[in-house]
Structure 1
Amino acid sequence: MLHLNGYKIANPTILARIPREELEALLTGYGHKPYFVEGDDPDTMHQQMAATLERCIGEIRAIQQHARERNDATRPRWPMIVLRSPKGWTGPKEVDGHKVEGSWRAHQVPVLDPVTNSKSLKLVEHWLRSYEPESLFDEAGRLVEELRELAPEGARRISANPHANGGLLCKTLDLPAFRDYAVAVKKPAGSYTSPTEVLGTFLRDVMRNNMTNFRVFGPDETASNKLTAIYEASEKTWLAQTEASDADGGDLATDGRVMEMLSEHTLEGWFEGYVLTGRHGLFATYEAFVHVIDSMFNQHAKWLEKAKRDLGWRQPVPSINLLITSLVWRQDHNGFTHQDPGFLDVVTNKSPDVVRIYLPPDANCLLSVADHCLRSRDYVNVIVADKQPHLQYLDMDAAVTHCTKGIGIWDWASTDQGVEPDVVIACAGDIATMEALAAVEILKARFADLKIRFVNVVDLFRLMPEHAHPHGLSSRDFDSLFTTSKPVIFNFHSYASLVHKLTYNRTNHDNLHVHGYHEKGNINTPLELAIINQVDRFSLAIDVIDRVPALRGVGDHAKEWLRGQIIEHLAYAHAEGIDKEEIRNWTWKG
């Protein structure tokens, strides 16, 4: 239904000012069958609206019956109603010589001073009496019996309709065992695979097991994001015309359960409606363009907060699961326009009761996180995972343990067992983790006695204090990871300021030095992009040398070598357009 009352806050509306035939052509082009209800006489309009509603409902039921009885999913032309009535209908027609009903002024408070102006008070009284309250309420102020009987009962009430309280209708997903999709890891950081490609096989079977209450959403990027395996279970929804060439890899079907449209805000609207009516899903999109739905995410998070805190009768609904991929550090061909990891900053502004952020470092961690998120209720879960081949660090048992903790020391990458570390090297994100590990390897080779503690973060909100977020760490637990006095070099996927925001009141915050995206980029090689933003292995190692007192002086020659490596690798990237093989195929030597 489209209600045209002609105006918004202070301007006319576009669709109300174009000719009717043009509006009808527009709506018909959108696939609708428009019916118009127009006028300003209430009695006439009520009868016209009732008749039009009856006709439209009859057409809708006929379309449904035809599709169900004949198994025909051909796109129908659904009826719609265009209601054209005056703005401020039945309100004051004029106030202080200015038109109100049928004007933009009706969007405002029509009478501003009835408390201090007797003329205005009389105007308000005349307006309200025009509704004949004596015929609507009895002497005690209660609605008269005749009108009370019109109110729907039980589930027919708006507030009690199960479709508007989707938790009542929600069915738990039948999830396959995510461990069955594990990537074999013979040794940490010894092999590469695409995390989202692995996830795609898991989501394929989630789809197969839940063909009536699970959908995947994406802006024309399901294949690009390497989730192609999903098409083995269900293809993309397509109700428009098809061509012969579509059969060659088009993956289109009238009953497809993958919703693709190059419009992130439309997809988010579909997804929110889907979960609010009790169904489940996942929305995968490029990291740089998830910002298109910033305000929609904000409003859904606000709704969730109020529903959880203030409306006890609302049943929990499935979470909004956002897979943020095609990440900033692997935009080798798209360049600067596709480099923006800042959605995480937007998410952290919302209530800790409803938002979660996960940065799984590899495919097994991604599987564990995805399973957890799909089982959850009443959250917005943001999962950051790239589609390109990345190093695999943890076998499935270790991945589950690590993700359950959300943050932890990787003993195999540390050299401080049993003693206090000289430095903590921490990281969050796939590329940030690889470059941090490579820095550790360089430092181990150059400074055999250096005691390094390596910390990886999956659940970003573990960085916050426990009183500020349900996932936050106690001060004692945080200090046991990051120490109370040693330098911490933190390599972060996104903007460095976010880590400082989450940790600003921690004991050792003054010694926390965060490396992150600096809004510098172009069509760079991966290492070149890392270097110009100082999240690369060489810059990290230099920072360690500068921050650890024991390395001052003795580390000078190593620093010179590291600076030379930066110059050498940048020159190679500029000359060859790729990184050296030792960088492209780097693995952990231990």
Structure 2
Amino acid sequence: MPAQQILQPNPPADPSLLPDSILEYGVNLNTKDYLPKDELEAVQLFRKAADYIAAAMIFLNDNVLLENDITHDNIKPRLLGHWGTCPGLVMIYAHLNRIIRKTGLDALYVVGPGHGAPAILSCLWLEDSLSTFLPEYTRDYSGLKKLISRFSAPGGFPSHINAETPGAIHEGGELGYALSVSFGAIMDNPDLVVACIVGDGEAETGPTATAWHAIKYIDPAESGAVIPILHVNGFKISERTIFGVMDDKEIIALFTGYGYQVRIISDLPNLDNDIAASMDWALVEIKKIQQAARSGNPIVKPRWPMLVLRTPKGLSGPKIVHGEFVEGSFHAHQVPLPLAKTSAEELHDLQAWLSSYKPQELFSKEGIPNDAILSVVPEVNAKKLGQRKESYAAYVPLVTPEWKDLGVAKGTQESCMKTVGKFLKEVVVQNPKTFRIFSPDELVSNKLDAVFDVTGRDFQWDIASRAQGGRVVEILSEHTCQGMLQGYTLTGRTGLFPSYEAFLGIVHTMMVQYSKFTKMAVETTWRQPCGSLNYIETSTWTRQEHNGFSHQNPSFIGAVLNLKPRFARVYLPPDANCFLSTVSHCLRAKNYVNLMVGSKQPSPVWLTPEEADQHCIAGASVWKFASVDQGVDPDVVLVGIGVEMTFEIIAAAALLRKLAPELRVRVVNVTDLMILAETGQHPHSLTELAFKTLFTEDRAIHFNYHGYPIELKGLLFGRPNLGRITIEGYKEEGTTTSPFDMMISNSTDRFSAAIHAIKGGALVNPKVAVYAHEKCSYLKHLRQKEKEYILANGKDHDDIFNTPIFE
């Protein structure tokens, strides 16, 4: 059955707009004899060689070219790997190589079925990209033996695609993100094409389901293109896939609705001609869409191409083992012959399987691939899929404006987000092609909308946004925003992900997977640094009282804290100037996961820009204006971490001046959460001496913390004399109520903080001890009165959030 094309194609292309190389290979829809005989044979030999190497990687530790019959001793002690997806991955790789060699196409290959590493590594070895970065993997017998014997073994490549894999920009662990990563990679890369293969198991995930819509956010005038390739081999680990039980009409109807033109490749006897014609057709359709947009006559709602590749799972592998079908069934998913180390029958089957590829005809005795195989490999190293600069050395430093010029006056009330929005506006102006904002919650809602003064949304299916060069992607899918951000960042640019605090946890595991990629990239010497993942967490629980309990969840802080300390940064700037300093720093930083937590509601500006700069550099400081005798010789230390938490600490300090004038209070603000970690546990950790000078050696410390108290306990673990510390933070108490009632409900209000201060101070100050019980009782009374007022009036006292005044 030949490749099928749906109706409703894009308008015909003007041939003058198309490169001759594309026209020559891309418009013939008759796929029989599509490729010249020598090209067809070369592609098939490349596939055969790569399939052989991939299979051998799973099983062999020696005898890698079958110089002798395989023995049990030649089999690895642990058989790890996923064979079933490998032949399909190799097919696409081979045909991309053919096109790149013929046309000079700029392409990346993103692989959704990440456990198909044997397929990709075998192709990288054949094109001699492995030795470029890892000299020991030479394209000869010695390098081949290392590749095969070390795969999925200590000291070798892991079983999934990761940062150690040349050409990779996607961690092949958790499924669902390949497509959105691919679309992020081609944004602002106008000449780049990303071939993204999505397994039919991966295609069942929610993130993938939404990512199909990403074509609606690609402006063909300024960005490249993705060729999505849905690989339908029918099975997961032991069950059929959804797409595997859909017929061609159902698949075509689904993706036509998404906005694609679809070609289904399923003609096994004519498979390579079918793939070649389909991929060339896809490139012609892409060029047609791009040239129309770039000539000023864009196609409205262009139908981007996508391919559906139907092949049996584990094609070319064992057909039947122990009376069970393997090829074309779930038995091919991982190791088709799991007992080859001990079973004579399975060893015999392995010998027959690997021999069927005739390795002696594919490689010389010295392990060199034959000339026909090498004729498929691109001649220019920089064009090879494993050596694209975009995948490992493309970072463009971001130009950031002088944030102090945008600082706000001390003593005023300003929204952190409003102020940061003005800063981001200038970032957009100064970085028109290397900065984007990916936002699942609209910028207007998060009060970052000043950026719309200079840019728009990049929503190509909306007539108001189409072809405007918008720097803002707004889509109500955290997964898609995260995936695009990852692809954009790993290919050298810088992005920002603002989100409602409660829902950032949706991408928790995506962020963790990315951090693992970053860790391995930093440890992989040939990968250059890239920008950081930058999150702004706003609409926080402290001011989500109007939306209720469902919108109150600061758990993403803990997710970042659990990362490798080298890569994790959490900031809770207390005011607008501190937030400006923090954002400016994070946008320039490399290789981190930066989480910035702030408020979109107006709040006091405590520090001048110059004071904020020094405070943020230190990560924490004593706020002398709110402390007794500027914080000298305190009885107790009150610490605020977070905008509203700090306000309540300062309000408590002001309250204590009146109610307990003998109590000597030191107020500290922490903006860089990581400084609290035990000395040596994090690059930003305070030294023991610095911790003592800031928090004293033996005085009671009370923390008012924006997140969950257990997170802070974990950070502080290992610091001396922890028995003197009390912590209040979010404790899963909330509803639709008033802002101050949220503080009371979670014991983070000023009255609760003052009670902790008096109790702690009474331990060392006899004058305070005399009236500690009385004052604490009175503070509890005041707190209850506030609660009663809120219940009776449906609101807080009008002056409850007035800036405290210190006399």
Please tell me the TM-score bracket, short chain as reference: over 0.9
Q: Does the CA contact (< 8 Å) of 2:631 and 2:667 recur in 1?
A: no
**Cα distance in 1 for residues equivalent to 2:786 and 2:299:** 57
1:103 to 329, 352, 361: 329
Q: Distance in 2 between matches of 1:396 and 1:524?
A: 34
Q: Is the 8 A contact 2:289 2:299 kept in 1?
A: no
2:247 corresponds in structure 1 to 19
Percent sequence identity is 39
Q: Which residue of 1 aligns with 2:561?
A: 348
Which residue in 2 is equivalent to 1:295?
509
The residue that corresponds to 1:164 in the other structure is: 391
- Tell me the equivalent position of 1:31: 259
SS in 2 for 1:427: strand
Q: What is the alpha-carbon distance in structure 1 between the residues aligned to residue 246 and residue 563 of structure 2?
A: 40
What residue identity is the alignment partner of 1:27?
F
Q: Distance in 2 between matches of 1:334 and 1:343?
A: 19
The DSSP-based 3-state class of the residue aligned with 1:306 is helix
Specify the SS of the correspondent of 2:537. Answer: strand
CA contact (8 A) 2:622 2:667 kept: yes
Matched, 1:173 2:394: no
Aligned position for 1:4: 232
Q: Do the aligned partners of 2:624 and 2:631 also contact (CA within 8 Å) in 1?
A: no
Aligned residue number for residue 795 of structure 2: 578
Q: Alpha-carbon deviations, 1:54-79, whole Å to 9, x = none?
A: 12112212221221122537432111
SS of the residue 1:490 aligns to: strand
2:573 and 2:643 in contact (8 A); partners too: yes
Corresponding residue SS for 1:583: coil
Unaligned runs of 5+ in 2: 1-228
Give runs of aligned pairs for residues 315-394 of structure 1, distance below 5 A. 315-394=528-607
Q: Is 2:260 the counterpart of 1:47?
A: no
**Offset at residue 467 of structure 1 (A):** 1.4
- Could you say which residue in structure 1 is the equivalent of 2:190? none
What are the ranges of 5 or more consecutive residues in structure 1 without an aligned counterpart? none
**Deviation per CA, 1:127-159, whole angstroms, max 9, x where unpaired?**
111111111111233322432343334211223
1:153-198 CA-to-partner distances (Å, cap 9, x unmatched) read 4211223101222x33x3222322111111111xxxx432111001
1:90 aligns with 2:277: no
Q: 2:708 aligned with 1:495, yes or no?
A: yes
Residue 552 (str. 1) matches residue 769 (str. 2):
yes
CA deviation map 1:381-402 (0-9, x unaligned): 1110111111211010000000
Q: Which residue of 2 aligns with 1:474?
A: 687
**Does residue 436 of structure 2 align to residue 215 of structure 1?**
yes
Match of 1:135 in 2: 361
Amino acid aligned to 1:101: E
- In the superposition, relative to structure 1, how do residues 30 and 418 fare at CA in structure 2: closer, same or farther (>3 Å)? closer
Distance 1:361 1:35 in 2: 55
Greater alpha carbon shift after TM alignment, 23-32 vs 172-181:
172-181
Change (3 A) 1:324 1:241: closer
Q: 1:377 to 1:5 in 2, by over 3 A?
A: same
Tell whether the 8 Å contact from 1:391 to 1:587 is kept in structure 2 after alignment: no
The aligned amino acid for 2:231 is H
CA contact (8 A) 1:411 1:454 kept: yes
**What residue is the counterpart of 2:668 in the other structure?**
455
SS at match of 2:784: helix
Q: CA deviation at 1:418?
A: 7.5
1:433 match: 646
Preserved CA contact (<8 Å) 1:364 1:394: yes
Q: C-alpha root-mean-square deviation of aligned residues, in Å? A: 1.6
Residues 463-472 or 79-88, more deviating: 463-472
Tell me the amino acid that sits aligned with residue 522 of structure 2. K
Partner-residue secondary structure (3-state), 1:333? coil
Contact 1:73 1:254 in 2 (8 A): no
Query: Which letter does structure 1 place at the counterpart of 2:605?
Result: Q
C-alpha distance in 2, partners of 1:377/1:74? 38
Q: Is the 8 A contact 2:441 2:476 kept in 1?
A: yes
| Partner SS for 2:485 | helix
2:412 paired with 1:191: yes
User: Contact between 2:403 and 2:584, CA under 8 Å: does it hold in 1?
Assistant: yes
Residues 385-439 of structure 1: CA deviation (Å, up to 9, x unaligned)? 1111112110100000000111111111111548421111111100000001111
3-state SS of 2:476 partner: coil
The CA distance in 2 between the partners of 1:396 and 1:557, in whole Å, is 41
Query: Does the 8 A contact of 1:461 with 1:472 survive in 2?
Result: yes
Structure 1: distance between partners of 2:531 and 2:256: 35
Instruction: Check conservation: 2:267, 2:274, Cα contact below 8 A.
Output: no
Work out whether residues 235 and 252 of structure 1, in 8 Å CA contact, stay in contact via their aligned partners in 2.
no
Do residues 113 (structure 1) and 339 (structure 2) align? yes
State the distance in 1 between where 2:292 and 2:799 align.
Answer: 63
Does the C-alpha gap of structure 1 residues 71 and 428 become closer, same or farther in structure 2, counting only changes over 3 Å? Answer: farther
CA distance in 1, matches of 2:471, 2:338: 52
Distance (whole Å) between structure 1 residues aligned to residue 634 and residue 801 of structure 2: 30
Structure 2 distance, partners of 1:109, 1:332, is 53
Q: Does 2:202 correspond to 1:202?
A: no
2:763 counterpart of 1:525:
no
Number of residue equivalences:
574
The answer to whether the Cα contact below 8 Å between 1:348 and 1:355 also exists between their aligned partners in 2 is yes
Give, in whole Å, the separation in 1 of the partners of 2:620 and 2:577.
15
Deviation at 1:305, TM superposition (A): 0.6
Q: CA deviation at 1:516?
A: 0.4
- Alignment partners' CA distance in 2, 1:64 and 1:108: 40
| 2:350 aligned partner | 124
Q: Distance in 1 between matches of 2:542 and 2:317?
A: 58
In 2: Cα distance, 1:76 partner to 1:417 partner: 65
Q: Does 1:182 align with 2:407?
A: yes
C-alpha distance in 1, partners of 2:554/2:368? 56
SS in 2 for 1:127: helix
In the TM superposition, residue 484 of structure 1 has moved relative to its aligned partner by 2.0
Distance 1:470 1:71, change over 3 A: farther
Query: Is 1:400 equivalent to 2:613 in the alignment?
Result: yes
Match of 2:453 in 1: 232
Would the aligned equivalents of 1:6 and 1:86 in 2 still touch at CA under 8 Å?
A: yes
